[in-house]
A = this chain, B = another copy of it.
Amino acid sequence: MYQLLRDNIEQHVHLSDAEFSHFATSFEAKEIEKKQFLLREGEICRFEGFVTKGIFSVYHLDKNGDKQILYFAHENWWVTNIDSFTNNLPSQLFIEALEDSEVLLISKSDKESAYINLPKIEKLFRVMTQKTHVALQRRMIDSLSKTADQRYIDFIEKYPQLYQRLSNLQIAAYLGVSHEFLSKIRRKIAGQK
C-alpha cells in the first residue's frame, strides 16, 4: 500500500528513498469496513487520508435530509474535509466507506512537520490542493451548464470503473437527482442506442 502512495507522490514531486521512508512513517494505516465512517458530521477532521483500497463517499445531508455526494474517493485518491481539518471546525460532511476499505492517514502536526523538514512536501500539497480545487470548480460549473443526462454520460465516460462499483442510488446522489429521475435518464439513453 505504501508503493501506491509513493507512485502517487511521484506524479508531482520526486522523493529519494530516504525521504520517502521518512515521510511514510507519518502515516498510519487504517481499515474501515463497508458502511463504517471515517468521519461523521459534527466531528473535527484530524486527518488527511490516502485511499489504498475500497471507495469512500464524501457527502452532506441537505436541508431535506437527502444525501448530496460531493465526491467519491477510491484507490489512489486523497480524502479529507479540508475545511474541518485546516480550521478545526466541526465537519459538515460525512466520509463513509462504500466497500471494505483501507486508508493511510496523516495528522495535521505530522503534515506541518513534513512541510518544515521536507519543502518538497509543500509543493506536493500545493499542487494537490490546486487539482482538488479545479475538480470542485468544474463540478460546480457542470451542475450549472449541463443537463443531468449529460452529467450522467460524462460520469460513465470519465469514471468507467467507479461506475461499475457504485449503485444507482449512489450515482443519483452524486448527480443531485432522485433515484427515479436517474432511472428515467438510463431508460432514455438505452432507447437512443
Contact = CB atoms under 8 A, between A and B. Distances in A.
B125 A136 contact: no
Contact of A126 (B68, B83, B126): B126
Interface in A23-71: 60-63, 68, 70
A144 B63 contact: yes
User: How many copies of the shown chain assemble into the complex?
Assistant: 2
A92 interface: yes
A140 B119 CA distance: 32
A128 to B, nearest CB: 9
Contacts of A138: 83
A21 interface: no
Given A119-B122, A140-B70, A134 B86 contact: yes
